[in-house]
C-alpha cells in the first residue's frame, strides 16, 4: 500500500517537540456543562466567545500544534467573521474534527457502550477536509468493573475505530484513535494496567488486520491510573511506569505518535503525570498531550464570561499549554508552578 506522505507530515507537525493538542471538541451540550461551571447559560454566543478566547490567545502556537473542533465550532467564526479554522491556520495550528456521534448502549451487555457515527462518514470527511480539517478523532469508551470491559465490547469498538481510521486516511486526514479506559471506579492501578493493555493490544491487532497505515495514526490514550474512587491514588512515578509498560507490550513501534487525554484528572496532576512519563526517557514513539478539561477549566474560571477578563484568561491558557509543553520534554517543575489547580 502506497504511503501518503502528507499524512506523515501532519503527524510529525502534531507531535512536534514541546507542543500538544487542545481538545476543544465538546458537543454543544457538553460545552454548555462547562459554561455552567461559571454560571453562564448554554447559548451560541457564549460558546463562540469562549472558543474565540481560546483560539485567538497570543503565542499559544508556541506550545499548541493542533486543536480538535466539534462540527459546530469548525463551521463557526469570530465576531469579526473569520472562520475558526482560518484563525488557527493563520497561527500555524492544524484544525482537527471530532467525528464520532457519541455512544449508545451495547445491547445485551449491561453498562457497556459502543460508539456510533460511521454511516455518513465518507461524505462528512469530504466536507470537513474542504473546511480545513486535516486530522480527526473518534472515541471509544471502556469501563473497568468486575465483568467489564467484555471481550465483545472491546472487539466491536476496535472494529469501529479501524473502519473510521480507514475512511479518514482515504480522505486525507490523520486519524486519532481514542480508546478511553475511564478513570471512574474504585479499581487499583494494577487492574487499570491489565485492562488498558488488553484494549490496546486488541485495537492494534484490528487496525493491522484492516490494513490501516499505523505510521499515519495517532493514539490518544488514557494514562494507567487507579480509579478516582480508590483511596490509594497512584503517584506520578507509578503512573509513568505502568503506562510505559503497557505501551511497550501493546503499541507497535511504527505508530506515528501517542497523546494523552486528561480523563478527569486535575490540571496539575495531568501535567505532573506527563512530566513523570517524559522523565523515563525517549520511547519508541513521540509522546505528547491532548487535554480538554485540564486546560479549559482554569481558563473558564478566570474568564467567568466577562470581557474584561479575556486577557487574564488567555494568559492562563498560555501558562497551561506552556507547562504541558515543558512536561512533554521532561522539563516541568511542579514545585515552581503555582498557577495550575491541583
Secondary structure of residue 35 in the 3-state scheme: helix
Q: What b/e readout covers 87-98, taking b as 16+ CB neighbours within 10 angstroms?
A: bbeebebbbbbb
- C-alpha–C-alpha distance, residues 276 and 253, integer Å: 21
Cα angle at 47 between 45 and 49, to 5 degrees? 65
- C-alpha–C-alpha distance, residues 234 and 230, integer Å: 9
Report DSSP state, residue 101: -
Which entry of 19, 98, 220, 268 is annotated as an active-site residue?
Answer: 220
- C-alpha–C-alpha distance, residues 95 and 51, integer Å: 13
Task: Kindly report the number of other CB atoms within 10 A of residue 119's CB atom.
Answer: 9
Cα angle at 111 between 183 and 199, to 5 degrees? 55
174 and 218 Cβ atoms separated by less than 8 Å: yes
Cβ burial, residue 285 (10 Å; 0-12/13-18/19+): middle
Straight-line distance from the first to the last Cα atom of the chain, in angstroms, rounded to the nearest whole number: 47
Which entry of 91, 112, 137, 178 is annotated as an active-site residue?
Answer: 178
- C-alpha–C-alpha distance, residues 222 and 225, integer Å: 8
Secondary structure of residue 69 in the 3-state scheme: strand
207 and 216 Cβ atoms separated by less than 8 Å: no
26 catalytic, yes or no?
A: no
Q: Determine the distance from the C-alpha atom of residue 155 to the mean position of all C-alpha atoms in its chain, rounded to a whole number.
A: 22
178 catalytic, yes or no?
A: yes
Q: Active-site positions?
A: 178, 220
Amino acid at each position: 500500500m502506497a504511503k501518503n506522505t502528507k499524512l506523515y507530515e501532519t503527524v510529525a507537525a502534531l507531535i512536534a517537540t514541546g507542543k500538544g493538542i487542545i481538545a476543544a471538541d465538546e458537543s454543544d451540550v457538553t460545552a454548555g456543562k462547562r459554561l455552567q461551571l461559571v454560571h453562564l447559560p448554554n447559548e451560541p454566543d457564549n460558546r463562540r466567545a469562549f472558543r474565540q478566547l481560546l483560539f485567538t490567545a497570543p503565542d499559544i502556537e508556541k506550545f499548541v500544534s493542533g486543536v480538535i473542533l466539534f462540527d459546530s465550532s469548525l463551521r463557526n467564526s469570530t465576531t469579526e467573521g473569520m472562520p475558526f479554522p482560518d484563525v488557527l491556520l493563520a497561527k500555524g495550528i492544524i484544525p482537527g474534527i471530532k467525528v464520532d456521534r457519541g455512544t449508545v448502549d451495547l445491547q445485551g451487555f449491561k453498562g457497556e457502550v459502543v460508539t456510533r457515527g460511521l454511516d455518513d462518514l465518507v461524505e462528512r470527511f469530504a466536507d470537513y477536509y474542504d473546511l480545513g480539517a486535516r486530522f480527526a478523532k473518534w472515541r471509544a469508551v471502556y469501563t473497568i468493573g468486575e465483568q467489564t470491559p467484555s471481550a465483545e465490547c472491546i472487539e466491536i469498538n476496535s472494529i469501529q475505530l479501524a473502519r473510521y481510521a480507514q475512511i479518514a486516511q482515504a480522505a486525507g486526514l490523520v486519524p486519532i484513535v481514542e480508546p478511553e479506559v475511564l478513570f471512574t471506579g474504585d479499581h487499583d492501578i494494577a487492574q487499570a494496567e491489565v485492562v488498558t493493555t488488553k484494549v490496546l493490544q486488541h485495537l492494534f491487532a484490528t487496525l493491522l488486520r484492516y490494513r490501516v497505515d499505523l505510521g499515519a495514526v495517532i493514539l490518544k490514550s488514557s494514562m494507567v491510573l487507579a480509579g478516582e474512587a480508590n483511596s490509594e491514588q497512584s503517584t506520578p512515578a507509578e503512573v509513568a511506569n505502568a503506562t510505559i509498560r503497557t505501551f511497550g507490550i501493546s503499541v507497535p513501534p511504527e505508530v506515528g505518535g501517542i497523546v494523552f487525554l486528561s480523563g478527569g484528572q486535575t490540571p496539575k496532576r495531568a501535567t505532573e503525570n506527563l512530566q513523570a512519563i517524559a522523565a523515563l526517557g525517549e520511547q519508541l514513539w513521540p509522546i505528547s498531550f491532548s487535554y480538554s478539561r485540564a486546560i479549559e477549566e482554569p481558563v473558564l474560571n478566570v474568564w467567568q464570561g466577562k470581557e474584561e477578563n479575556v486577557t487574564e484568561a488567555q494568559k492562563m491558557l498560555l501558562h497551561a499549554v506552556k507547562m504541558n509543553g515543558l512536561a512533554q520534554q521532561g522539563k516541568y517543575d511542579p514545585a515552581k508552578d503555582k498557577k495550575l489547580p491541583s
